[in-house]
Structure 1
Amino acid sequence: MASTAAAPVTRWAREYETIYILRPDISNDAAEKVVERAKDVIARLDGTLTKLDNWGKRKLAYPIQKNTRGIFVYLKYVGFNDLVAELERNLRLLDEVVRFQTVLLDEDVDPASVSVDPEEVEYLHVEEDEQAEDAELERARSLGMAPRAPRGAPTEAPQAPQPAAESAKPEAAGAAPAEAAGAAPAAPAEAAGAAPAAPAEAA
């Protein structure tokens, strides 16, 4: 009597995404160590990491542990129920991590059908120059500071009529000393073109 081999039973997995937030002041090396720890947990519990993305520093919706900004890291992976609990336990133990959240994306995923692109699971550092520029702009806005270029424009505007006032001074020799001394009545009289004012200065 021929015996039939039992078909292998598929253990269905689930697809999750986890986003965790790091303190904004940690170094790139420290941030990468957190990523490596998350990778180790996923691999140790027979999970598969399919996407890893460093979103860089972003403004938080509300302060967390007195931080208004944080480094956001995105993970997408396939695994089983015990994987999520162990990953979150490890993130909770790390001082560098200030917040994390996991969302279920799909159920009944066959782990054997999951493919991984090596470039999609590579941790890339965000350029420091872009972060510094963004942080500087955010700080300026939080302090209510206007950009420097618009602030300079009003100070240059009043300088335009000054050459016209200086060119009018040489027209009358007697008018220049009066203006230099700050005599207010002399300027209105000349501007109005009043004839009686000239004999008064001559005398």
Structure 2
Amino acid sequence: MRAFELMIILEAEVDEADVTARIDQVTQNITANSGGEVKTEDRWGKRRFAYEINHQQEGYYVVLEFVTEAREMESLQRLLQLADDVVRHKIIRLPDKEAAKRGLFGVEMPLVTAGQPKET
């Protein structure tokens, strides 16, 4: 299983019910096929764009962190590309160290900086 971060920008006109429905659809896609799991959901709300995208000035931002098999990304990409209310989306695979630090694998990894001995 790999850790991923997904940012979705929805049209600004969507209401909370539509946002919840889209997040549920994405979550179902992640969990149904490979037994993946959404670990965090962060709704940033409406934000103004730095530049116009598809003749729109603002969008509704949602960030999800999840773990799943890498082969399942294709179906998720397709789902988001075909959704009319999704303005943009970006899926990033998190490095294992970062994912462990965020606790996405169920165990939080202690932060070790250079020059400090590791605790045993």
Instruction: Please confirm whether the aligned pair reaches a TM-score higher than 0.5, indicating the same fold.
Output: yes
Per the TM alignment, residue 79 of structure 1 is displaced from its structure 2 partner at its CA by: 0.9
Residue of structure 2 equivalent to 1:47: 36
Structure 2, unmatched stretches of 5+, are: 107-120
Which structure's residues are more often helix, by fraction?
Answer: 1
Residue of structure 1 equivalent to 2:45: 56
Which runs of 4 or more aligned residues in structure 1 lie more than 4 Å from their structure 2 counterparts after TM superposition? Answer: none
State how far apart, in whole Å, the 1-side matches of 2:76 and 2:41 are.
Answer: 15
State how far apart, in whole Å, the 2-side matches of 1:16 and 1:114 are.
Answer: 11
State how far apart, in whole Å, the 2-side matches of 1:41 and 1:106 are.
Answer: 22
Residue of structure 2 equivalent to 1:183: none
Structure 1, unmatched stretches of 5+, are: 1-12, 116-203
Residue of structure 2 equivalent to 1:94: 83
> One-letter code of the match for 1:41?
N
State how far apart, in whole Å, the 1-side matches of 2:95 and 2:32 are.
Answer: 21
State how far apart, in whole Å, the 2-side matches of 1:38 and 1:101 are.
Answer: 13
CA RMSD in angstroms, aligned pairs only: 2.0
- More relative contact order, 1 or 2 (CA 8 Å, 6+ apart): 2
Which structure's residues are more often strand, by fraction?
Answer: 2
**Pick from 1, 11, 22: which aligns with 2:10?**
22
Check if 1:80 corresponds to 2:61: no
Cα distance change, pair 107–80 in 1 and its aligned pair in 2 (3 A):
farther
Give deviations 1:40-82, integer Å, cap 9, x for gaps. 0011121111000100000112111111100000010011112
SS in 2 for 1:25: coil
> Based on CA coordinates, which of the two structures has the bigger radius of gyration?
1
TM-score (norm 1): 0.46
